[in-house]
Structure 1
């Protein structure tokens, strides 16, 4: 069965100086998928609110600021907000916020470790450092019972100070999934060195470059207790469990440096635009192909990486899975959330919000990203192109083009009333987006 893909384009968004994007669909291993060219979907983010642009009918409020490096975020059924900090602030790596009268104030802080991952499931708050995963018991008021004594669920995950964040998500069957990013750009013998070829067999993949599955309620697990659920993923920061499809979805950060490393094969423009940032729907045993292939969103093809014999024209092995959606290169998707609330209009139900942290490596082309995108879904699969939902985090079109964003969206969470929460890890902000009928 052939896959059907929608070819995305990249065009200027005049109001905030960001970029628009589209998506492609299809997730079966196999040959080249069909391409359908269509116009770029217009951004829905047109109404200034709370310092950013949101669609008409929505309001955005800046409810907290100066928290520190606010990465992922979780909100309890009673509205308590937990924010994971990349580095502890005043010795606290997790902040609990209480919201009242349109503002959120810090109620308490705990956890002496930095990191990115945080989520709530079945009466527990789970949080990750760059090596370990912890959980805290919550009481009937969703307060942490003993913040000084978390239970260590997973320990000793590899951290080589590159793609080290351990994003986490749980399914409904008692499993926790952990990203272990590859400590390399493209598994070169000499990382990021011009002309260096790939390591045969890429030994990195034995302990990194994929998603590992563990038990959510078993203490002190190590690699030997887990399962390498999916491999060939350079780095995943945004991930979520899709209840409609009962499946794990992840956003991969694509590789860098095609021209810098292999200038005879790629132009600077190709380096700026390739490879695509990809969404994958994963099943156990899947292989997305890193470092052997990258996904070319212009051609809608898996291409053989130059480190492993590619030249920008040779296609990659068909055994590697295709993405289910793809977006312009180097936009850094750091958050993924499937919206299951009832507050937003019906078109948003069960669709995906994606927080694009923004690029640093599209020069000499303008930098891009620093926005939150909505990707429509139907029956648990992407359906049509994404649209920019919340924009203006960078502060101006000039800031976007230069890559000097005032704020960069990172984490996403859904509140009990169906509002959307967005973190920013530059100013340490939390935004709340709501809709009134």
Structure 2
């Protein structure tokens, strides 16, 4: 009994500390926007979801007090989330709310929890299994999810590889043709939400040629899937005769795609070069930095500077923000670790203006300052790293951080 009471007291102490206002890293936003910290000190908060009643759900990549999902609720509607529910004994990234269920992922399984009429979890200790047995070889193992209008869930299965070499991340090792990884990973799979206890074979490989599409979202304006993809590493380190250090820092592009069923984004055979606006053949497959390849692969909508790690995508369909943001894309960049000798880059949320599913202008930094330093010369010293995005029922957006476990609420008033 004494051990149980000590555990309860420790958990209550954690909640008290987490609810306190912490010293704020100033977040830079466009005029009219403001930020509010609604969660802090929750550890590695990955993706997030906000319910129609304003409840905030956070998926953790490391357990906190033995739990991997935290729900915060503003019970008295005073703007402060004072009620906390913790459940789920597994780590992971993906989380989303769809037709009366909360969906959450580990690195191998998609679970779901039924919500009742009061938006409470019916049985937090016994989730249903939607899909299990998904590939998990640690590298690019996190499973992001999104949903369409027709009752399907989409799951990213990242490739456990840099560029599908015979010996992964070994200089001089050639790329494999065909790439066997693409049979079970390196793409997005579609599953019906109406069926439980599915395996990979029960789903459809909706799109392929994606090293790690960590940011995925459904664009309801045009009824299509969109994705942000992490590009490959080690161009300069493996091929200094073709790429100097600066090119190795800037390339390959991080990419943003509109994805239709059957599309191939070209990994591992090509990468996108935003300077040349071309699909460049990977050196492991005979490329020289200029030769194009994979003519049947689709091109991205946008190519961003290399290695910035686009970890979340939100297609904005709210009404609170000014008209320019309607149907545009917010992308959370986790920040780079391998752009030396250039400064590390990212650690911010960008916006891509869009209409009818296509960009209408250049991308711009929307929310900045999370790292607490400029430039970022020491990755371990960065204060926060943007990781998840979600929209609230009032059109505000939420940004999570997996460095210190913060969540910010971004609001607009003219």
Q: What TM-score does the superposition give when structure 1 sets the normalisation length?
A: 0.87
Q: Does 1:414 align with 2:391?
A: yes
Aligned to 2:26: 51
Asked if structure 1 preserves the Cα contact closer than 8 Å seen for 2:25 and 2:369, the reply is: no
Task: Give the match's secondary structure for 1:401.
Answer: coil
Asked if structure 2 preserves the Cα contact closer than 8 Å seen for 1:64 and 1:105, the reply is: no
Asked if structure 2 preserves the Cα contact closer than 8 Å seen for 1:50 and 1:60, the reply is: no
Q: Partners in 1 of 2:232 and 2:201 — Cα distance?
A: 29
Aligned to 1:95: 70
For the aligned residue pairs, the C-alpha RMSD in angstroms reads: 1.2
Alignment length, in residue pairs?
A: 388
Per-residue Cα deviation, 1:221-255 (whole angstroms, up to 9, x for no partner): 00110111100000011110001110000000000
Q: Partners in 2 of 1:303 and 1:402 — Cα distance?
A: 31
Return the match for 2:201 from 224, 234, 240: 224
Return the match for 1:248 from 225, 245, 249: 225
Q: Partners in 2 of 1:106 and 1:373 — Cα distance?
A: 31
Structure 2: state its 5+ residue gaps. 1-23
Return the match for 2:378 from 386, 393, 402: 402
Please state how far the C-alpha of 1:102 moved relative to its aligned partner.
4.2
Aligned to 2:46: 71
Task: Give the match's secondary structure for 1:269.
Answer: helix
Q: Partners in 2 of 1:158 and 1:386 — Cα distance?
A: 34
Asked if structure 2 preserves the Cα contact closer than 8 Å seen for 1:259 and 1:267, the reply is: yes
Q: Partners in 1 of 2:404 and 2:68 — Cα distance?
A: 16
Please state how far the C-alpha of 1:76 moved relative to its aligned partner.
0.6
Aligned to 2:363: 386
Kindly report structure 1 stretches of 4+ aligned residues shifted beyond 6 Å: none
Aligned to 2:306: 329
Return the match for 1:291 from 268, 275, 282: 268
Task: Give the match's secondary structure for 1:397.
Answer: coil
Structure 1: state its 5+ residue gaps. 1-48
Aligned to 2:61: 86
Please state how far the C-alpha of 1:261 moved relative to its aligned partner.
1.4
The 5 A counterparts of 1:289-328 are 289-328=266-305
Please state how far the C-alpha of 1:258 moved relative to its aligned partner.
0.4
Task: Give the match's secondary structure for 2:377.
Answer: helix
Change (3 A) 1:397 1:186: same
Aligned to 1:180: 157
Q: Partners in 1 of 2:179 and 2:83 — Cα distance?
A: 44
Please state how far the C-alpha of 1:101 moved relative to its aligned partner.
4.1
Richer in strand (by share)? 1
Asked if structure 1 preserves the Cα contact closer than 8 Å seen for 2:350 and 2:366, the reply is: yes
Please state how far the C-alpha of 1:103 moved relative to its aligned partner.
3.5
Aligned to 2:37: 62
Task: Give the match's secondary structure for 2:28.
Answer: strand
Change (3 A) 1:339 1:56: same
More deviation in 337-346 or 248-257?
A: 337-346
Q: Partners in 1 of 2:25 and 2:265 — Cα distance?
A: 39
Task: Give the match's secondary structure for 1:410.
Answer: strand
Q: Partners in 2 of 1:355 and 1:160 — Cα distance?
A: 25
